[in-house]
Amino acid sequence: MKIYTAPMAGITDYSFRKILEKFEPDFLFTEMVNANLLNREDDTTINELLKCDDKEKTGTQIFGGDRNELISGILKLKNFGFRKININMGCPQPKIIKNGAGSALLKNYELVEQVLSEIQNIGADISIKIRAGYKDFKNPEIFLDLANKYSLDFICIHGRTQKQMYSGTADWEIVKKLSNIPRKTEFFGNGDLFEPLEIKKKIQNSNLDGIILSRGIIGNPWLILQAREFLKTGKIKRIQTFDETKSLVLEHLKNIVKNKGEMKAVLEINKFLRPYFQKFWDKNLDRNSEIATIENYYDENLKTKIDKIILEKGILEKIRNIEML
């Protein structure tokens, strides 16, 4: 069972991917890349979003609603050295779909096929990531047929419709149904993969080649190792400790400082602080079960401490307060 990490705007930047690499996913993706900005050679897109040390282990995802922009952008990504390029057909955000991109591509089968036909021999591994539905479109099977027709690297389905955004629950029955259709391409599932036990339950009776972890790894890269371990052995040996969490947060913060400077780092680390530490103030977690994912540590005042660190504007004070937790 392969474990990939998803492309997430504002999350899977170079600094966080350096953290994720330590937990050995089978493959990583950069942030989503806007085809229009890429074709205009936007500095931020090329120098920040696409910053990458190892393009053999890191791919990228492109989004757009224009046929020519998508084709040109994919060719640029290939020329930049990326060997795995994913076409985003799942993003539910209104600002994305209003331009015909993301999950809006689900209703534009002909455009998608034109793009795949044009790029099928460029020498890169092309894949698509879709949602289960978009408005009146409720036929994801046709994109599995398309993936087979053009021998795509893989197809990934997120078991929500565009309308659901990230609310409700992902429908893993749809994922299971599609995964068991005969195919010539790899099939990945995605959606609501937050804990090793629930991951195992969701993928039971599916014919998956892998899963793609997304929101579940924000502040919890341990999920990569724990999910792999639990799927193989039914046990978890590598638990998350409080001291290890502090150390990783400091490393993540220093990565951002190095790559984006102190001013951005002070702000950008904030989105990760609660996710990194929240398990240690959640009194409802079972820390003593056979499949515990964290050490038996609990601090009821930790949330208040983290909120104060989030408000801290100085980089040295921020580092010092994290060290003192």
Helix (H), strand (E) at residue 126: strand 125-133
Q: Which two tokens stand for residue 239?
A: 């638990």
Q: Which two tokens stand for residue 235?
A: 């046990």
Backbone torsions φ then ψ of 163, nearest 5 degrees: -60, -35
- Measured over the CA atoms of residue 222, residue 227, residue 232 and residue 234, the dihedral's sign is positive
Of the candidates 190, 134, 198, 127, the residue with the CA atom closest to the CA atom of residue 165: 134
- pLDDT of amino acid 134: 86
Residue positions annotated with a catalytic role? 91
**Residues 217, 5: contact at Cβ < 8 Å?**
yes
Residue 1 annotated as part of some ligand binding site? no
**Residues 270, 250: contact at Cβ < 8 Å?**
no
Residue 7 annotated as part of some ligand binding site? yes
- pLDDT of amino acid 137: 66
Q: Is 126 left (phi over 0), alpha (psi -120 to 50) or beta?
A: beta
Spatial distance between the Cα atoms of 315 and 96, rounded to a whole number of angstroms: 34
* Matching residue, tokens 């209003």: 98
Per-residue pLDDT of the chain (325 residues; tens, 9 = 90+): 999 999 999 999 999 999 999 999 999 999 999 999 999 999 999 999 999 999 999 999 999 999 999 999 999 999 999 999 999 999 999 999 999 999 999 999 999 999 999 999 999 999 999 999 887 767 889 999 999 999 999 999 999 988 888 888 999 999 999 999 999 999 999 999 999 999 999 999 999 999 999 999 999 999 999 999 999 999 999 999 999 999 999 999 999 999 999 999 999 999 999 999 999 999 888 788 878 999 999 999 999 999 999 999 999 999 999 999 9
Alpha helical stretches, state H, the chain: 14-21, 35-39, 43-44, 67-79, 94-97, 109-119, 141-149, 172-179, 196-203, 222-233, 242-260, 262-268, 270-277, 302-311, 315-323
Residue 8 annotated as part of some ligand binding site? yes
Residue 158 annotated as part of some ligand binding site? yes
Spatial distance between the Cα atoms of 220 and 133, rounded to a whole number of angstroms: 29
Q: Which two tokens stand for residue 205?
A: 């009776």
Report all structural domains of the chain as residue ranges with CATH numbers, in order of start: 2-233 (3.20.20.70), 242-323 (1.10.1200)
Residue 127 annotated as part of some ligand binding site? no
pTM exceeds 0.85: yes
Burial of 325 (0-12, 13-18, 19+ CB in 10 A): middle
